C-alpha cells in the first residue's frame, strides 16, 4: 500500500534547521490506526530547490557547526551567475550538495532511526511560508 501525506512548514530565518521527526512519527501513527503497518519505507521529500532533507543528530553544537561548515564551503555573494537572476545562488548550491530527500525504513510499525538520529528540514533561503514536504509511505 502507498500513502501520501504532506507537511507544511513556515520558516523564520535565512538558514534554519527544523527537526521534523515527531511530525513524521505522528503521521505514521495516524496511518497505523487505520491500517496496521508492520514494515515498509517512508520517503521524505522537499519540493523546494533551496531547502534540503537530511538525517543526523539533533545536538545544538553540531547543528551550529554544520551551518558554519556549509557557509564556509559555499560562500555568499561569490559572483555566481545565478545571482543575476534572483540573488540566491548560494542557497541553490547548498541544496545541490545536501539533497532533497531521505528514505527511512519502517520496522515493526516504527521509523528505524538510530538512537541519535533525527530527520531535518533545512531552510537555505528563508524566511519562507508554506514550505511543502511530501511523505510517501510504502508499506505492507
Q: Give the position of cell 535565512.
A: 14
DSSP string, 100-127: SEEEEEEETTEE---TTEEEEEEESS-S
For the entire predicted model, the pTM comes to: 0.95
Q: 124-133 pLDDT, tens per residue?
A: 999 999 999 9
For the chain, domains (ranges, CATH) are 2-139 (2.60.120.460)
| Confidence band for 140, pLDDT divided at 50, 70 and 90 | confident
Q: 81-116 pLDDT, tens per residue?
A: 999 999 999 999 999 999 999 999 999 999 999 999
Q: State phi, psi for 32 to the nearest 5 degrees.
A: -65, -25
Amino acid at each position: 500500500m502507498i500513502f501520501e501525506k504532506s507537511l507544511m512548514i513556515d520558516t523564520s530565518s535565512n538558514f534554519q534547521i527544523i527537526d521534523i521527526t515527531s511530525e513524521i512519527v505522528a503521521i505514521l501513527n495516524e496511518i497505523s490506526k487505520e491500517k496496521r503497518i508492520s514494515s515498509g519505507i517512508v520517503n521524505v521529500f522537499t519540493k523546494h530547490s533551496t531547502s534540503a532533507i537530511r538525517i543526523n543528530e539533533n545536538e545544538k553544537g553540531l547543528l551550529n557547526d554544520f551551518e558554519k561548515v556549509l557557509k564556509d564551503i559555499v560562500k555568499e555573494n561569490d559572483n555566481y551567475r545565478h545571482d543575476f537572476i534572483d540573488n540566491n545562488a548560494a542557497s541553490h548550491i547548498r541544496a545541490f550538495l545536501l539533497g532533497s530527500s531521505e528514505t527511512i525504513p519502517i520496522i515493526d510499525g516504527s521509523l528505524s532511526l538510530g538512537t541519535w538520529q533525527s530527520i531535518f528540514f533545512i531552510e537555505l533561503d528563508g524566511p519562507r511560508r508554506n514550505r511543502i514536504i511530501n511523505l510517501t509511505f510504502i508499506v505492507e
